């Protein structure tokens, strides 16, 4: 393998620093789109056949196992030999250097799991069509002796549709990738994680019995239940309760979760979810046909040629069919035929079982590239177009270690889990665990993973908005801006500048400049309008608004965290008692008791509460409904309990969520329902359901809008119907400029093209302030040393 990074060692050993732009086995890595415990997936370019592929790279340590290598190539060949329009085409598999790889078609549309997350249960007719196509793929594989063993919505990939009324085309992904290779049916990683998705696993797979195609039928039926109801049939916590339910509990009635379905659907699902394989349908196609009939759809003939009965899983090379041609060089074999649909992109990255899409850390300053290794969502495909010429030249995006867990199997772990299952079954004495039937409880396994965009320099194309009125004035290094009545307070450049609205003129008038030692960044104003807090050094400087307007000495005091540095953003509690400041260099959120500081003195022991440990380089910060949301350049959104942060900061983090590549700023909607985040190195605006961030964080992402280069600041205008994003182009990417992206909020949430156009700005626009009445928007433009004003009325 050429040009592979040789940086930090992964848990498996061997170099694992695959960076965008490098070459692996003749493929140029263009974008990291998925990762799991045993593999990472890139969108890659194959210059030999001029096509894009999904390139899955397995852990380097796997090549040390000779038996694994041999079985991997056998099973990859077997999967490639299956000819069905609903199985992801496999182009090549092999070993390059110390990494096993497999190249597949790259599909544009996202996966069915993400579709459910966005719109909930699907229409019955659409479900019947989806299930029929997946059943066709499974039966074709079963004829060849392959059993998938991990059928789930996340492995069902949707081709992008050119029009909303066109039918879906589904591909089933991840055939032949390590499932048979990993040996036993009940497989564990070295950390004891189940290799498979517990919400969809068949009873015989849990018990370690021989598997055939009816194992996949069970997984398909569980997936059907989820398509109908928005959740799988056995939603439990902890994981062992899910296993017990698959083994011992009857499947729930689907009409108890969704009214209006025909009675016949119950009979079909009950049979496909039977505990004993012999009691299920003879094939997946017959199950799909029965489902179509129950849902009132016309029958279709999707059966593959060959025997209708399922074939038992075999460990050796399946008989029948010819293996793919052997190839000289780094790949063991390669499909040399050009693919007619090569531009149709494939598996944005279902992870391998037991893994999760995890953003890597980046050790740069605000906000820098830290590749979030999660897939692009379907919303991204629909919301805007990327530049057709590909990414322009720009700074390298450096990957960090991504292997999460070792691929070796612990005999002790297997025995321990088996004992735990047996003990649980005995203790339960045939009854389910208390509260296990709660359909709203969160999923208990890693299969349901947030989908978020990875790093890119591609930007969304839209028209320039040249008719928007704009003006600017010079200020020293402006960073943050807050508004209080007719006054604006701009921090930055060792000063806070006070400005006042100037009648009908766009630009406000400078009232005074308050010199302050240090560099001020983001700022906030107390809800009662009495104090401004500007992030500085290891905390925040506190300024009296009254004194600032009266011309008196305005600095009241300074809040500081011992050992902290590089304060970035400030947020206040609703009662103005507490102040929270992100400390970028020390990966902390500092918590201060502002009320105690104002009452007892800024040097009092009560003024500093403590630090909340966060991920690498936290910057953006927002508050809503008793929660705090802190971005981390490591690709994470930290969800915190505000009350816990005020009393016990070390225990305040309640969840972390993938938030794209280097999330930078956060903003809460007026109704406290949506959290918007700019992912600066994904060139994206992401929307999260605040309710799900607390109840089901892995499925909280509900909108993904591509924007311009390196978005930072964000603001609502026109009553929240529009979102404006400051595209900073902070890395000076060739061919890109700084601008303001204008987003239609309703269309962004409805998964429709939402980018309305761009307003030109000076260099590095950063933060916004909306003047009283919402008619004028102020923008700090740091590198141009400007405060820019634009007329909101001129926006589309």
Angle 57-58-61 (CA atoms, 0-180°, nearest 5)?
135
Length of the chain: 796
Q: What's the CA gap between 499 and 488, in Å, rounded?
A: 5
Closest C-alpha among 743, 744, 737, 777 to residue 761:
737
Tell me the torsion sign for CA atoms 270, 275, 276, 277.
positive
Dihedral sign from CA coordinates of 689, 694, 695, 697: positive
The 3-class secondary structure across 24-44, one letter per residue, is: ECCEEEEEEEEECCCEEEEEE
In this structure, the number of other CB atoms found within 10 A of the CB of residue 115 comes to 22
Active site residue 600: no
Report the alpha-carbon angle 70-72-73, nearest 5.
70
Question: Taking Cα atoms as reference points, which of 353, 4, 301, 358 lies closest to residue 174?
Answer: 353
Residues 659 and 428: beta-carbon distance below 8 Å? no
Report the C-alpha gap between 767 and 666 in whole angstroms.
Answer: 11
Instruction: State how far Cα 522 lies from the chain centre.
Output: 26
| Alpha-carbon span 284 to 271, nearest angstrom | 12
- Which segments of 468-607 are extended strands (E)? 470-474, 480-484, 487-491, 495-500, 509-515, 520-525, 531-536, 539-544, 555-560, 567-572, 578-583, 588-593
Interatomic CA distance for residues 43 and 663, integer angstroms: 21
If DSSP codes are grouped into helix, strand and coil, which group holds residue 491?
strand
Q: What is the DSSP letter of 66?
A: H
d(CA 382, CA 684): 13
Catalytic residue among 139, 150, 611, 631: 150
- What's the rounded Cα separation, in Å, for the pair 447 and 232? 12
Per the listing, tokens 């996949």 go with 216
Cβ 672 vs Cβ 649: under 8 Å: no
Both tokens assigned to 331:
């790949």
Q: How far is CA 31 from CA 394, 454, 456, in A?
A: 14, 7, 6
Query: Hey, CA dihedral for 403, 407, 408, 414, is it positive or negative?
Result: positive
Which are the catalytic amino acids? 150
């Amino acid at each position: 393998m050429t040009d592979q990074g040789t940086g930090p060692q992964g848990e498996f050993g061997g170099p694992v620093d695959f960076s965008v732009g490098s070459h692996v086995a003749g493929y140029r890595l263009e974008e990291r789109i998925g990762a799991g415990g045993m593999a990472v997936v890139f969108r890659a370019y194959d210059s030999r056949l001029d096509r894009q592929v999904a390139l899955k790279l397995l852990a380097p340590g796997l090549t040390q196992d000779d038996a694994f290598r041999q079985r991997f190539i056998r099973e990859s060949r077997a999967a490639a030999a299956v000819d069905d329009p609903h199985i992801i085409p496999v182009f090549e598999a092999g070993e390059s250097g110390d990494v096993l790889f497999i190249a597949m078609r790259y599909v544009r549309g996202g996966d069915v799991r993400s579709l459910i997350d966005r719109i909930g249960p699907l229409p019955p007719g659409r479900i019947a069509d989806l299930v029929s196509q997946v059943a066709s793929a499974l039966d074709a594989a079963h004829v060849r002796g392959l059993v998938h063993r991990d059928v789930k919505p996340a492995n069902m990939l949707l081709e992008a549709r050119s029009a909303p009324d066109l039918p879906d085309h589904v591909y089933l992904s991840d055939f032949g990738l390590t499932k048979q290779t990993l040996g036993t049916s009940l497989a564990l990683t070295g950390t004891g994680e189940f290799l498979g998705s517990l919400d969809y696993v068949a009873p015989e797979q849990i018990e370690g019995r021989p598997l055939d195609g009816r194992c996949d039928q069970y997984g398909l039926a569980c997936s059907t239940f989820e398509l109908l109801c928005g959740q799988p049939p056995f939603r439990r916590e902890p994981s062992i309760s899910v296993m017990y339910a698959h083994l011992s509990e009857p499947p729930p009635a689907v009409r108890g979760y969704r009214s209006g379905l025909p009675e016949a659907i119950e009979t079909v699902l009950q049979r496909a979810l039977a505990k004993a394989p012999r009691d299920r349908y003879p094939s997946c196609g017959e199950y799909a046909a029965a489902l179509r009939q129950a849902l009132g759809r016309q029958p279709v003939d999707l059966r593959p040629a060959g025997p209708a009965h399922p074939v038992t899983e075999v460990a050796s090379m399946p008989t029948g069919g010819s293996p793919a041609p052997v190839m000289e060089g780094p790949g063991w074999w390669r499909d040399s035929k050009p693919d007619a649909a090569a531009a149709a992109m494939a598996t944005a990255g279902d992870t391998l079982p037991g893994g999760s899409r995890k953003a890597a850390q980046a050790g740069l300053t605000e906000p820098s590239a830290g590749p979030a290794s999660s897939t692009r969502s379907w919303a991204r495909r629909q919301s805007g177009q990327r530049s057709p010429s590909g990414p322009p030249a720009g700074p390298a995006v450096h990957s960090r270690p991504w292997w999460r867990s070792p691929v070796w199997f612990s005999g002790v772990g297997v025995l321990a889990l088996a004992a735990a299952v047996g003990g649980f079954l005995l203790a339960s004495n045939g009854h389910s665990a208390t509260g296990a039937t709660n359909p709203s409880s969160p999923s208990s396994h890693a299969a349901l993973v947030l989908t978020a965009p990875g790093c890119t320099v591609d930007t969304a194309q839209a028209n320039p908005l040249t008719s928007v009125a704009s003006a600017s004035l010079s200020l020293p290094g402006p960073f943050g801006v807050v508004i209080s009545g007719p006054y604006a307070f701009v921090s930055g450049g060792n000063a806070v500048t006070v400005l006042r609205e100037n009648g009908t003129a766009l630009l406000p008038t400078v009232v005074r400049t308050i010199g302050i030692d240090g560099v001020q960044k983001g700022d906030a104003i107390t809800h009662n309008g009495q104090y401004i807090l500007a992030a500085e050094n290891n905390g925040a400087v506190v300024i009296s608004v009254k004194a600032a307007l009266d011309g008196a000495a305005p600095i009241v005091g300074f809040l500081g965290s011992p050992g902290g540095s590089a304060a970035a953003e400030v947020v206040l509690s609703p009662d103005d008692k507490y102040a929270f400041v992100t400390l970028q260099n020390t990966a902390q959120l500092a918590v201060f008791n502002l009320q105690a500081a104002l009452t007892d003195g800024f040097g009092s022991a009560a003024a500093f509460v403590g630090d909340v440990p966060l991920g690498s380089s936290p910057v953006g910060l927002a508050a809503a409904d008793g929660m705090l949301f802190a971005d981390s350049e490591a690709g994470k959104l930290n969800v915190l309990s505000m009350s816990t942060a005020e009393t016990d900061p070390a225990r305040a983090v309640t969840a972390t969520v993938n938030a794209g590549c280097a999330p930078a700023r956060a903003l809460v909607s007026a109704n406290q329902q949506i959290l918007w985040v700019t992912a600066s190195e994904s060139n994206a605006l992401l929307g999260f359901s605040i309710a799900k961030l607390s109840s089901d964080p892995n499925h909280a992402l509900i909108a993904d809008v591509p924007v311009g280069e390196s978005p930072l600041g964000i603001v609502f205008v026109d009553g929240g119907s529009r979102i404006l994003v400051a595209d900073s182009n902070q890395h000076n990417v060739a061919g890109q400029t700084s601008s303001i992206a204008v987003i239609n909020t309703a269309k962004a949430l409805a998964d429709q093209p939402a980018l309305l156009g761009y307003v030109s700005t000076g260099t590095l626009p950063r933060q916004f302030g909306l003047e009283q009445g919402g008619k004028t928007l102020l923008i700090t433009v740091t590198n141009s040393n400007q405060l820019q004003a634009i007329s909101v009325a001129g926006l589309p």
